[in-house]
């Protein structure tokens, strides 16, 4: 069974790629065929993820030097440069792959009626972007990781440029797509400097005997550098941080996000908000903190200040918006500021909060962007000033919109509340002042949530709306998509332990890796106690 699990890893990447290619091939035969192939491909991917989740071993062992991989696949690729097709999965990556597969199904479902031109090529780009994201979550050879990191950007560029917002000019779509591509490409090149710097330093350390991009090898190189040449380690750490910070996005590197969301098709926004920005948080957890614990600890205050500025800046900009999609885009900037605070708090509770926050934010933001598409399909506008009085006309749409906005602003009983609560609780011990400041921003979250509900559902209908034909409520397909997200958020809110148990070993290892040397002994002695606490 172990070898079968190992073979699932390349299958998780290949299935979306093959399905996307088939969608493109059959495009001329029938417009509906690519949609079914894409849906089947993502359902198979989710099924493989669930199989791996149910059979994997996600236990934690004290004092281990590397994460415990539940499954691993290693195939030599470019041997002269020490590059392998090396894939592995642990509790952190299996949950992120599961989220990607689930939101992939929702992205295909929400584009069912929206995309009418070049349907096959659209699904090729959508599925290849999802396959690239899954590759990012599974790759532990840093060359392979960087390959997938860059590769997933190209399909998203085409999604925005070719199938972007119908109400805008072609120039606006291309501008937004190009801006997104330039931001992320430049950030990727800066990150590559950090990766190649570690490879070269590893080559020097081994006396010119070994050149490798292997995760464990480069981690040892980075930690040696962190101890012996802290200034160089700090520079490499900042290079990698910038690469991830642009994608997260961290203020002031967020400029691409509002435009990209405003112009992207619904499925593209689901991809961007639900999955793509999570790859950055994953990269910081997987590479930056374990590789450079001392440099990261030194950099923590700077990163958290930028994160807190982003929390308030995103909330304030969201408050100012009249476009529904741009409002939601700025809320993502605000929420991701909490991720930075929790990252550099560096304990198991804050890391577990990040895990729940990423899953819950993925579901809630994806659902709200799907609803933006549904509202635009009915009203042909995203301007909230033109939407008043929807509540009395569309029963199901009104209910789901209020539900997901409640989730986004952190109402208890839903997943976002659990994530925010764990982040606050874990961060307060190390950064009490920063945590209190961040908590104040939750008031702003409630404010922009209430404004969104009021303007869209409870305002006064315009004259155009009064004279227009009756607005259709949600169809069965649309309700099913939103129900999946709603049930996921309730599950995360009422029984988060089922997810915390899976990610516990990975997060515990990262927490131990990041702790300053004098704290490691104390932390190791406390692990047994921590693992018996209900919230682990």
Cβ atoms of 60 and 15 closer than 8 Å = no
DSSP for 517-534, written as a single string: HHHHHHHHHHHHHHHHSS
Kindly state the tokens that stand for 67: 């994460």
Q: What's the pLDDT score for residue 536?
A: 39
Q: What's the pLDDT score for residue 528?
A: 36
Kindly state the tokens that stand for 184: 């992320």
Q: What's the pLDDT score for residue 522?
A: 39
Kindly state the tokens that stand for 356: 């729940």
Identify the segments of the chain with pLDDT beneath 50: 1, 516-536
Alpha helices per DSSP H over 139-214: 142-151, 153-163, 170-205
Q: What's the pLDDT score for residue 110?
A: 87
Three-state DSSP state, 39: helix
Q: What's the pLDDT score for residue 534?
A: 41
Q: What's the pLDDT score for residue 368?
A: 92
Q: What is the largest CA-CA distance in the chain?
A: 79
d(Cα 256, Cα 244) in Å, to the nearest integer?
14
Q: What's the pLDDT score for residue 468?
A: 61
Q: What's the pLDDT score for residue 515?
A: 67
163 HSE (CA, 13 A, CB side) = 25
How far is residue 170 from each of residues 161, 179, 263, 427, measured CA to CA in Å? Answer: 8, 14, 10, 45
Cβ atoms of 114 and 266 closer than 8 Å = yes
In the block, residue with structure tokens 């060359």: 143
Other Cβ atoms within 10 Å of 531 Cβ, number: 15
pLDDT in tens, 9-30: 999 999 999 999 998 998 877 7
Q: What's the pLDDT score for residue 129?
A: 93
End-to-end C-alpha distance for the chain, whole angstroms? 28
Kindly state the tokens that stand for 326: 């741009």
Q: What's the pLDDT score for residue 60?
A: 58
pLDDT in tens, 55-114: 877 765 555 656 778 888 989 988 888 899 999 998 899 999 999 999 999 999 888 877
DSSP for 248-274, written as a single string: TTPTTS-THHHHHHHHS-HHHHHHIII
Q: What's the pLDDT score for residue 523?
A: 36
């Amino acid at each position: 069974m172990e070898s079968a699990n190992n073979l699932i890893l390349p299958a998780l990447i290949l299935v979306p790629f093959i399905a996307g290619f088939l969608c493109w091939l059959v495009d001329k035969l029938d417009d509906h065929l690519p949609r079914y192939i894409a849906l089947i491909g993502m359902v198979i991917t989710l099924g493989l993820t669930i199989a791996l989740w149910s059979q994997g071993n996600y236990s934690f062992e004290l004092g281990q030097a590397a994460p415990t991989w539940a499954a691993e696949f290693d195939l030599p690729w470019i041997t002269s440069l020490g590059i392998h097709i090396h894939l592995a999965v642990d509790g952190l990556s299996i949950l992120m792959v599961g989220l990607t597969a689930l939101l992939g199904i929702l992205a295909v479902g929400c584009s069912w009626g929206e995309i009418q031109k070049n349907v096959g090529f659209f699904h090729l780009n959508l599925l290849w972007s999802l396959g690239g994201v899954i590759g990012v979550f599974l790759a532990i050879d840093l060359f392979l990781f960087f390959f997938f990191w860059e590769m997933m950007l190209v399909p998203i560029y085409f999604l925005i440029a070719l199938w972007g917002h119908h109400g805008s000019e072609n120039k606006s779509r291309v501008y937004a797509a190009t801006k997104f591509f330039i931001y992320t490409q430049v950030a990727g090149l800066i990150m590559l400097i950090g990766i190649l710097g570690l490879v070269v330093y590893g080559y020097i350390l081994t006396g010119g005997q070994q050149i490798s991009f292997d995760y464990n090898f480069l981690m040892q190189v980075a930690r040696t550098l962190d101890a012996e040449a802290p200034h160089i380690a700090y520079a490499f750490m900042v290079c990698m941080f910038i690469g991830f910070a642009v994608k997260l996005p961290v203020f002031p590197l967020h400029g691409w996000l509002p435009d990209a969301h405003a112009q992207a098709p619904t499925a593209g926004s689901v991809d961007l908000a639900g999955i793509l920005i999570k790859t950055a948080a994953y990269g910081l957890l997987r590479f930056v903190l374990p590789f450079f614990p001392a440099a990261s600890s030194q950099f923590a205050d700077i990163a958290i200040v930028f994160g807190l500025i982003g929390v308030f800046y995103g909330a304030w900009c969201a408050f100012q918006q009249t476009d529904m999609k741009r409002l939601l885009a700025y809320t993502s900037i605000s929420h991701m500021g909490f991720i930075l605070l929790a990252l550099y708090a560096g304990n198991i509770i804050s890391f577990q909060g990040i895990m729940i926050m990423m899953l819950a934010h993925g579901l809630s933001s994806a659902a709200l962007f799907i609803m933006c598409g549904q509202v635009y399909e009915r009203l042909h506008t995203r301007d909230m000033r033109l939407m008043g009085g929807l509540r009395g006309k569309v029963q199901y749409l009104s209910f789901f919109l209020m539900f997901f906005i409640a989730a986004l602003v952190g109402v208890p009983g839903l997943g976002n509340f659990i994530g925010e609560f764990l982040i606050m609780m874990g961060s307060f011990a190390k950064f009490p002042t920063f945590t209190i400041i961040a908590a104040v921003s939750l008031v702003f979250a409630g404010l922009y949530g209430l404004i969104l509900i009021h303007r869209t559902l409870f305002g006064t209908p315009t004259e155009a709306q009064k004279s227009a034909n009756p607005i259709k409520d949600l169809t069965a397909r649309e309700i099913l998509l939103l129900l999946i997200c709603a049930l996921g958020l309730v599950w995360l809110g009422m029984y988060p332990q089922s997810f915390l148990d899976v990610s516990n070993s990975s997060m515990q290892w990262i927490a131990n890796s990041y702790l300053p040397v004098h704290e490691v002994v104390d932390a190791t002695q406390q692990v047994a106690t921590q693992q018996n606490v209900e919230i682990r």
